[in-house]
Amino acid sequence: MFGAQILLVICASENVSLSAEVTSEKLYSRDVDLQAGQSTVNSYTYRIQNTNFYWQRKNKWTMAEVPTNFDGDNESNLKDVHLSEEETKVKELLQKRKSHKELLEEIKRKGREELAQNREERKTKREEKNMAESDSPDEEDYYIRTLSAMSISLQKPEKVLGTGLVYDELMLKHKNDWDPNFPEKPERISEPFKRCSELHLVERCIRIETQYGTEDMVLLQHTRELLEKVKSTSQMNKQQLQEFSQHYDSVYCNQSSYECALVALGSIIELMEQILKKKITNGLAITRPPGHHSMNDALCGFCIFNNVAIAAKHAVDNLGVKKVLIVDWDVHHGQATQKMFYDDPRVLYFSIHRYEYGNYWPNLRESDYDFIGKDKSLGFNINVPLNQTGMTDKDYLAVFHHVLLPVAYEFCPDLILVSAGYDCAIGCPEGEMMVSPACFGHMTHFLMGLADGRVCVCLEGGYCIKSLSESVALTLKALLRDPCPLLPPQIEPSDSVAETILNVIKVLRPYWSCFHYQDLLEDDSEDLCSFEEVNKLPPRSDVKFDKEENDSKMFPLTYTYPEEVEEVYFLQKKFDPIIDQLIAETALMRPPYRTCIVYDDDMRAHKADSRGHPEDPDRITRIFDKHVELGLLERCLRVQSRHATESELQLIHSSKYVEEMKELPEKTVFDLRKLAWNYNSIYLCQETYNCALLATGSLLNVVHTVLTGQASSGVAVVRPPGHHAECTKCMGFCFFNNVAIAAKYAQDKFGLKRVLILDWDVHHGNGTQHQFYQDNSVLLINLHRYDYGCFYPSSEDGSEEKVGEGEGEGYNVNIAWNHGFMGDAEYVAAFHQIVMPIASQYSPELVLVSAGFDSAIGDPLGGYMISPSGYAHMTHMLSSLANGRVILSLEGGYNLTSISHSMCMCTSVLLGDSCPSLQITKPMDR
């Protein structure tokens, strides 16, 4: 029995013991079940399959001799075939065993049917159980309790209530009757309002009716004597008004000044109260006269009543607000506001101002960086003195990233009041700075991530009408949640600003945990800092400061500029064409949809054939269902899913690898299992290729939707993930590198020159890194658990020392965590100190986020502690880039509750909702 002997050899190789009789029986069987149905003998020498009867004996048969209806299991088909003696014996044996064989086949058939039925029943029960458990109050309650223990609230995203706007022509009545060229003039509010109207911003705002401030409000910060003096100006003639004004530095009054000052004060307080009552989310007050120089008992610097200081005092004394952050970006130091809260820890005062070591107005020693508050308020007064003119966007953003935002996140204010002076804007003769109008939109955007978005912006200075108007308009656009305009690529901050930042950190380090991981200068100051001024404390001996005892008693009635300023700003009008060019080049796009989203249930078909695998189809279903539950889906533009083409896959992957993946649907379960063993952390099924195509193609459709201006941002709820996939192989649950392909697609189809890929998955995105390691057209920033190379994918490629090669050197940034369990504090610190400074300098045209949520609280693989709010804040910061063109593509994340909440919070922020408050503790020193 030649055939039986061959089969016995094969069976022996498969560790299957068969008797000669049974082996003979199996000789003509279509499918020989060798290992419980897991293998067939299709590749063996003898097979009978449909009409093909292969029996390779020498010169015995040809294919043409085989009947078309031949059935090896039917011995009648053997009658017309010449059989040898051995074959005749086999036939006889088959006849003898036919009844036994049929019985065995029937038993096996019923067994297979019963097994399949039981498998389906178990699968159905398991899916029902998983669904019930995943939606059970117990799991949700446990997750909420875990967050509550960390002082993190999990609440449904609240829609933005609207932006309030205060403006009244009544305030135009305040003007200088004896000096028509005085810089503080009525056009300072009328022209910005006009520009906001031209951009159709006013009609999108909720107009807040102007109110008169009361005397009680004024007395919160000013003396009765000062109030009565100002009140009396409404009855004075011109000469009396001049005599009154001469007693104050850079101040004028007319008969309407008192009324205008009350309207400015009352309207700002009304705007603030509307925000606190949650009738609006944020607001802008286009009011005058300004206020931040007005002292407790004296007018000063164009200011009558200190509007912002009074509003802050009213909030903490009368409205139950516990913590107020005042941000003063006017080019002049708000010395009066500082003095009013210098010993009050309820109010954190932050000022970035021109100082020139004390040589710039108001020429005060207390405007320097080492005045940080007193008693319980130590550290709650922050001065960032700028000691050179010509500071630009890069310098102001550096101050925000490295000083203001870290402290503000730790302070966690309930309300933010902005003393918004625009005299640091380009073209302003007062400040002689070079900040673009667009930069004010960015600074406003960053502040809106705090205090649940409760930001009240109040006009202070700004005396170049053209740049003032544009700056106010772009501030209002930011408050309305429009995308931040794209800033040009930046160079590094000036040495002067770097020196100031280091000085500020030096004096604040003992009082704020966010600076504790900074090195101490005392350790080795020469090695730590090359700036001489950082190694010593002010003041300079050659600077004369103004003090009360040497203040002039009488001040000039007219305002004059130095001759060189007059020449550049007024005679040559040097900056007018520059401002015009900035305005023309600033894209003020606002797509019809804030966010688009893609999801396809067909991606569930990729699944493991064993229970408990973390990369489960329910990952995307739970995320999508949570979007529906929270009302987010209906606010998004739905994008049609599609399959990626082979040419699109080959933007990153080799054609050979694509062909290998393309063959997966034709392989048996056994072959797929065997093939999966060749890869690292991979399972395969016949639907894997189709699902991987769908994931990549769907993301590309989101990219297309965003880059064609249909939506500002996008969310791709896709699987399988992609960032581990290499050019020639799959690994780490990933098959095609979705985000890497999307970056190349955006460059090839839309001509983008700069793309940022931010990968916050807990695992290092090795596949993405290898694709762009020598490419400076893609900036890749990875935040991942590294553990000195011991955490998956367990390669030195994830080290912080891997910075790119060739043209790509410096464009690969690995933030590799090595100690402990990182959470919100560490990730937010990394964003402030590394991610956002580098990304802002790079100025990408598109941001792609490899959004793995396996760093989230409760993830079984990551072991980290990022909250949904933490992801929301990271998304908010990223959305300041690339005209808001930020696209999140799902990567990892294996706790179904945490990933659904986390990704929903990201979508909510992209839709313009306020970031939930985030309690930041001390980042780990390491």
pLDDT in tens, 88-106: 777 777 666 666 667 777 7
Bridging pattern class, strands 47-49 and 52-54: antiparallel
Q: Which pLDDT score, from 0 to 100, does residue 53 have?
A: 34
Give pLDDT, residue 40. Answer: 33
915 falls in which pLDDT band (50, 70, 90)? very high
Task: Quick: pLDDT tens for 689-702.
Answer: 999 999 999 999 99
Judge whether 873 counts as a catalytic residue.
no
Residues in Cβ contact with 715 at an 8 Å cutoff, skipping those fewer than 6 apart: 595, 596, 597, 598, 636, 702, 887, 888, 903, 906, 907, 910
Q: State mean pLDDT over 592-617.
A: 95
Q: What integer pLDDT is reported at residue 16 of this predicted model?
A: 36
Domain locations in the chain as residue ranges: 2-114, 169-543+555-585, 593-910
CA distance 196 to 767: 46
Give residue-wise pLDDT tens across range 526-572: 555 666 667 677 877 677 777 654 456 799 999 999 999 999 898 87
Q: So what's the pLDDT on residue 731?
A: 97
Q: Which of 314, 724, 832, 873 is catalytic?
A: 724
Nearest Cα neighbor of 880 from 839, 916, 828, 838 is 839
Which pLDDT does position 326 carry in this prediction?
A: 99
Q: Is the pLDDT of residue 86 over 80?
A: no
> Which tokens go with 76?
């009648």
Task: For residues 255 and 238, give the distance between their C-alpha atoms in angstroms, rounded to a whole number.
Answer: 9
Separation CA 505–CA 517 (nearest Å) = 11
pLDDT value at position 65?
A: 41
Q: Which pLDDT score, from 0 to 100, does residue 532 have?
A: 66
| Higher-scoring residue by pLDDT: 523, 98 | 98
- 589 pLDDT band, cuts 50/70/90, is confident
Any catalytic annotation for residue 819? no
pLDDT tens for 285-314 read 999 999 999 999 999 999 999 999 999 999
Mean pLDDT score across all residues of the chain: 88
Cα–Cα distance for residue pair 706/589, rounded to 1 Å: 12
Mean pLDDT comparison of 2-11, 57-66, 493-502, highest-scoring range: 493-502
User: Spelled out in words, what is the top-level CATH class assigned to the domain 169-543+555-585?
Assistant: alpha beta
pLDDT of residue 376 exceeding 80, the answer is yes
Catalytic residue among 174, 222, 292, 293: 293
Q: pLDDT higher for 388 or 109? A: 388
Quick: pLDDT tens for 107-164.
777 777 777 787 777 667 655 655 554 445 566 676 777 776 666 666 666 667 899 9
| From 7-11, 638-642, 774-778, the region with the lowest mean pLDDT | 7-11
For the segment 684-688, the average pLDDT, to the nearest whole number, is 97
| Predicted pLDDT at 519 | 76
CATH superfamily of the 593-910 domain:
Histone deacetylase domain (3.40.800.20)
| Average confidence (pLDDT) over 452-464 | 98
pLDDT at 859 over 70: yes
Distances (CA, A) of 573 to 183, 472, 567, 607: 16, 21, 8, 68
Q: Quickly state the pLDDT bin for 522 (edges 50, 70, 90).
A: low
Per-residue pLDDT, 82: 60
Give me the mean pLDDT over the 188-217 stretch: 98
The 10s digit of each residue's pLDDT in 22-81 is: 333 333 333 333 333 333 333 333 333 333 333 333 333 343 344 444 444 454 444 445
Banded model confidence at residue 256, pLDDT cuts 50, 70, 90: very high
What distance in Å separates the CA atoms of residue 220 and residue 318, rounded to the nearest whole number? 11
426-436 pLDDT, tens digit each: 999 999 999 99
Share of the chain above pLDDT 90, in %: 75
pLDDT at 925: 54
Q: Give the pLDDT confidence score for residue 576 in this predicted structure.
A: 94
Can you give the pLDDT at residue 32?
34
Q: What is the DSSP string of 885-911?
A: -EEEEE-----HHHHHHHHHHHHHHHT
Q: d(Cα 82, Cα 113) in Å, to the nearest integer? A: 38
